[in-house]
Chain A
Amino acid sequence: MDHAAARDHNPNGSGRAYWRSLEELAETDAFQARLAAEFPSQASTWTDPAGRREFLRLMGASLALAGLSGCGVNAPEEIVPYSRAPENVVPGKPRYYATSVLFQGYAHGVIVESHMGRPTKIEGNPDHPASLGAADRFAQASILGLYDPDRSRAILRNGRQSSWSDFLGWMIDRRGRWLARKGEGLHVVTGPTTSPTLAAQLESLGRIMPEMRWYVHDPVGRENLRDGARLAFGRPLETVRDFAKADVVLSLDDDFLSDGPSHIVDARHFAARREPRRPLNRLYVVEPSPTITGAMADHRLPLAAKEIGRLAQALAKSLGVNIPTARHAADASWVARVAADLKSAKGRSIVTVGPGYPPEVHAIVHAINAALGNVGSTVRYIPSAQYTRNARTLVELSNAIDGGRVQTLLLLGVNPAYDAPANLNFAERMVDSVPERVHLGLYADETAGRCHWHVPEAHVLESWGDARAFDGTVSTIQPMIRPLFGGRSALEVLSILLGQPARTARETVTAHWKSQRGGQSFESDWSRWLDRGVIDGTAFEPVKASLKSTEAFVPDSRKARDGFEVLFRPDPNVWDGSLANNGWLQELPRPLTKLTWDNAALVSPKTAGALGVKNQDVVELKFDGRALRLPVWIAPGQAEESVTVHLGFGRTAAGRVGNGVGTSGYALRPSSSPWFGSGLKLAATGATHPLATTQHHQNMQGRDLLKSAAVGDFARNPRFVETPEDARTRGLTLFENPAPQKRRQEGEGNAWGMSINLNTCIGCNACVVACQAENNIPVVGKQQVINGREMHWIRIDRYYEGSAERPETRFQPVPCMHCENAPCELVCPVGATTHSAEGLNEMTYNRCVGTRYCSNNCPYKVRRFNFLEYNGDTSAPIALRHNPDVTVRSRGVMEKCTYCVQRINNARIAAEIEGRPIRDGEVVPACAQTCPTRAIVFGNLNDRSSEIARTKADPRNYALLEELNTRPRTTYLAKLTNPNPALEGA
């Protein structure tokens, strides 16, 4: 039966229980009061966190009843008896589809694993230029977002249940008036988009409603890059960098390994140049706040953001760019040496700057790259993939609102009520002086609560569409499942404005591409494009960009206000807050701070000392007339006077997971200085706030756990990872080890092993989320993390070396080592963890009684225990997300990395059916598959020709804690650094 329909038309029909409960809910005084309160007058009641949370909790609870039977089934005719089995669907066999997920509007090609019509796992699409087969933490986590039970499930009018037909009626009625007034008074806000189809819709909308205004809102957008290019070349070009060709790279606070539409590709190419096969590249990073890119640097200079412009200017000057001399530029000697190094690599270097810096700085960097002759070799310019024609900004919108010109506000997939700059007071402004407000969004969020209409948006995995990758390649978006909660896409809403209310998104997209690439073979082309996930030949050609007069490229060098400097940065995991309700991302330790479930004010050790505060002490930040209270987290390597505030927290209407997590940095963020600004005042409050971190100890205690050497030393002593002691004692044993080691020596059967390359691991966390998705790893929540019970099967240890002001940061992923002499197995009283013939250290969940002795005896502490029932919530749609190939563990049993044994077994079955051995590369664990830099290699050690065998033959190969003679199957390749001799000790 058909819940969607029931939801829309038939309150007393099939979904009775669900309706009853909602009506009961509607009877409660609190809810009545909320409704009675006319939005404009008492909007505050909506934002009251407690009340809002309670409301959403009830809402979620009652709606969950409807969820299970309803999900995925939208039209009655879709229910078919299984006697007519869908074509080529084999029960139990997953199918794989190519599609794209979006980040900041840019396409990211993925392959979705689907079990019986149920998407369960996302992998990178090898055919996609922005993925190359890898997927980042956001893409991996989007599968959880799809099944989020807190997603908006019904069309709301003034907070009451309404229906698509009512909404349609209202829109069509309004459309008449707008047409009559050429769209005057109609203002549309969208997120950044690269979709050619959407662009085309906006174009034609602009033709029929020339007075309609369109705004792009991205709280952490990339407009500085475009404006910089406009300043430098007169056109909003985008820069494509080829790190594979770069010998010397200077990043001015550009976290290119972690963020940005091309970060996976950049990371892949960058990592390729860290391997000794070719001469190592050298990375300089100047940044105010630690990033994973900074952690990879051979030389990292902590520097306040406000200084970076001047540093770029000084650098440009020293490279012969015609530009005014920078006044009081910092670290002149450092700059001089870096400049020399860059000069020595003319045409083989890259200078880049982050999106948080004003256009002038970007222009200077363009000039520098030009001066270094990098343009055309390592740096190319292409037209902006993002559609920006006639795009206006939120500031312009609020001016328009003040001007009373805004009659209707159409907010498509944006949440300005939460993430608009504080000085705009957007929520109040909109509520007070916009008569009609319509919101399309995944969640009934802060903005939805202030709109007359709210329409659930279809998740990207539920919808049809298209989008461009960083290089312009058009990527297709096809639904993996019918909208779980009857969501609609922006394309469908715009179709209404274009007078085609009945038109589906699919029709819109195909029609558009028929018009673009129409022809005899369109049908076959289209299906091929869908199959591969990309439309051939849509990548942009590099354009000739001529640099304007560099005289004008002068960064704002006004004397900065004294006091501290505040930096506003998107959170590495929940980003701008739109992902706040994603438990995986909330619990994923931030790469540097290892914090979960919270944001903090990152301060340098010196500053903390000066303020007399320590971790978890709450401080008050005063900036630009606003105040904010945040717990302190001391970040080694933070620029002395810089204080980082991560955005994306303090949501009030994100859902049961994201509500009330952390504090919203937007409350402090003015539109005048969206990224950084000086004049911040800090004051200790004496209060404290508990923070949940997964790593309490930051240095290695002088233990040689994470081995590294400079390339020079490596050349002199390739086997530097090995002490004579190791060499002498290796393999000594009192008794002969039976299988599997013997089998391995004799080279029979499979002997699985893994190698993790510390040299190319950038600590991006993608593997952690991938593992969580593949292996049904639960989320335990902040308190449990504080208790030390996080469940991640692979963790990334982060160690600091050297001074707290300018530390060297190292990452070390630690999964189960699958020791051949496993200490954990020896002590299990019931034989619940034993060794397989192929060398896997296996966990038999059903046999485990939970003594936890194995974890105590594991020197790597990679075992995870279900201290409580962490998988209790089997309500739909959460349960649908689980990977059917992996047991869902219940309370009281131990678990840990299995080398993705389910994938090994699938490969074995396939191989045995075909009567052949398992091929090298046929088994790829989730972590290895999603790693952007291919730092994780897995395979059969007995196959001498396999990649893993070759990797383990590398002289840098070493085992963690080898002296314990556990004989781990997982080993590491030591890290290499390439310091500039001229900067030794700097």
Chain B
Amino acid sequence: MSHVAGDPTIFGLLAEFVHPEEVVEAASKAFEAGYRQLDAYSPYPVDGLAEACGFTKNRVAPITLIGGLVGGFGGFFMQWFSAVVHYPINVGGRPLNSWPSFIPITFEMTVLFATLFGVVGMLLLNGLPRLHHPVFHVPRFELASRSRFFLSIQATDPKFELSATREFLQSLNPQGVDVVPW
């Protein structure tokens, strides 16, 4: 993204909270305050947190659906094509297009492709795997995978201004506020 405002050496600010309710509230306040480059971190999925950060569209489900359709139709086509068109053989006097026998594999292929599409889609949309990220610079951030909740405002936010934003965050009475260096 374009680096319109703020200090290029700073990723943003990180505020730490003890309770999930607090971080949700903080996130929504920040959003109201006009911050858009928000993100929150929690040791487990907290209801409404993403929405509070202004996250709206989640495309995982449609991707999974597409995967399922590809797998299903592809699976049946493979069987029909090979048994009827490409290499027809007389097996036990059964019809070449023994469609009832093709259903189990069609189903399995549906599930398999839906799964692959869904999971791969989720990872790509999340930009994972990404082994390093600036927030890891903050020592206390390791608690994000244990017991604490964090709210970050990126320096790339047009409204971001280091001292003002820090004060704003302080006003949400967190455990503490840290600068996240690039």
Contact surface of A with B, Cβ cutoff 8 Å: 735-741, 819-826, 828, 831, 834-837, 967
Contacts and interface: CB of A to CB of B under 8 A. Distances in A.
A745 to B, nearest CB: 12
Interface in B108-165: none
B69 interface: no
A967 B92 CA distance: 10
A737 B91 contact: no
Interface residues of B, number: 8
Interface string B88-99: 011111111000
A740 B90 contact: yes
Nearest to A967: B93
Q: Which of B89, B92, B95 has most chain A Cβ within 10 Å?
A: B92
**Main SS of chain B's interface residues?**
loop
Contact of B92 (A736, A739, A826, A837): A826
A834 B91 CA distance: 5
A741 B92 contact: no
A825 B92 contact: yes
B94 A826 contact: yes
Contacts of A736: 95
23 contacts: A735-B95, A736-B95, A737-B93, A738-B90, A738-B93, A738-B95, A739-B90, A741-B93, A819-B92, A820-B93, A821-B93, A822-B93, A824-B92, A826-B92, A828-B91, A831-B91, A834-B89, A834-B91, A835-B90, A835-B91, A835-B93, A836-B90, A837-B90
A365 to B, nearest CB: 56
Contacts of B93: 737-738, 740-741, 820-822, 835, 967
Nearest to B94: A826
A735 B89 contact: no
Nearest to A736: B95
A736 B98 CA distance: 11
B96 A823 contact: no
A80 to B, nearest CB: 47
Contacts of B95: 735-736, 738
A290 B46 CA distance: 87
Contacts of B90: 738-740, 834-837
**Main SS of chain A's interface residues?**
loop
Contacts of A737: 93-94
Nearest to B96: A738
Interface string B63-100: 00000000000000000000000000111111110000
Nearest to A739: B90
A738 B95 CA distance: 6
A268 to B, nearest CB: 37
Contacts of A741: 93
Contacts of B94: 735, 737, 821, 826
Contacts of A739: 90
Contacts of B91: 825-826, 828, 831, 834-835
A848 to B, nearest CB: 15
Contacts of A824: 92
A712 B49 CA distance: 94
Q: Which of B90, B94, B96 has most chain A Cβ within 10 Å?
A: B90
Contacts of A820: 93
A819 B92 CA distance: 8
B102 to A, nearest CB: 14
Nearest to A831: B89
Interface string B28-54: 000000000000000000000000000
A736 B95 CA distance: 7
A825 B93 CA distance: 9
A716 B62 CA distance: 75
Q: Which of B90, B93, B95, B96 has most chain A Cβ within 10 Å?
A: B93
Contacts of B92: 819, 821-826, 835
A824 B94 CA distance: 12
A737 B91 CA distance: 10
A665 B10 CA distance: 104
A825 B90 CA distance: 9
Contacts of A834: 89-91
A835 B94 CA distance: 10
Nearest to A737: B93
A959 to B, nearest CB: 15
A826 B89 CA distance: 11
Q: Which 6 residue pairs are nearest across A and B when measured between Cβ atoms?
A: A825-B92, A826-B92, A835-B90, A737-B93, A821-B93, A822-B92
A849 B23 CA distance: 61
A111 to B, nearest CB: 36
Contacts of A819: 92
Contacts of B96: 738
A962 to B, nearest CB: 15
Contacts of A735: 94-95
A909 to B, nearest CB: 23
Given A737-B94, A825-B92, 20 more contacts: A737-B93, A738-B93, A738-B95, A738-B96, A740-B90, A741-B93, A821-B94, A822-B92, A823-B92, A824-B92, A825-B91, A826-B91, A828-B91, A831-B91, A834-B91, A835-B89, A835-B90, A835-B92, A836-B90, A837-B90
